[in-house]
Structure 1
């Protein structure tokens, strides 16, 4: 296994940990990884399909949150030297968005795994810009069988 240290700022490496591919990739950094938590990042760029008039839209922010969960799973599989599985948003319990990111802002999203059982992961998610929370939520993701 290749030697990897955190944080991982190589966009191509991060993209290989999730099933989504350009132009639908909404994570570009893996900042922190522990047994039950990950912090992922995204710098909002003009070529992002969810940017409209310089603002990262709600749908993009929710997809970024979901891909942060996918990155958690993908990195777990990377550590086991297995390919990243495909997963889906099973349900969204709550999402509260208080601010939308602008171009060049860096989103840092922390995912806390509450339960993980038989391919279903329940998580709390918090997204921040400059340590100020801009969104929070809870969702379930489900691995494809």
Structure 2
């Protein structure tokens, strides 16, 4: 069940939900949110630090997935009226990059929360662009606090 009434695109609001700050922000929209799922959006900007020869490189896709997890945690804390915690990637497994998007293309990243126990979150993530799966991964993130 999507708990959002409408897409959130306010960059300042979104940046307050994640620990990363410009120029290291890899999420641009909050499209869908529930306890077990989040969908973020990102139009690949030309000046992104992971853009090379007009393409968004694999590390950017991985960071986009991780920041989507952080966005889920941050929004959950926002709803609880608590400050967003800092977290980090604990492990990545089964990461696959099938294709690299171009500058200006819009990514849609879906993260399913598999387990969330004592600040450790296991997720499955998929990045798509125009209906094509660009990357997938399973990752574990941990809260620093």
> Which interval holds the TM-score relative to the shorter structure?
over 0.9
Aligned residue for 1:16, secondary structure, equals helix
Alignment of 1:21-100 (within 5 A): 21-100=21-100
Gaps (5+ residues) in structure 1?
none
Task: Give aligned pairs, total.
Answer: 142
Asked whether 1:18 is paired with 2:29, we answer: no
TM-score with structure 1 setting the length: 0.95
Per-residue deviation at 1:18?
0.5
TM-score with structure 2 setting the length: 0.95
2: distance between equivalents of 1:93 and 1:18? 22
2: distance between equivalents of 1:112 and 1:128? 14
Deviations 1:68-101 (A, max 9, x none): 0000000000001111100000000111110001
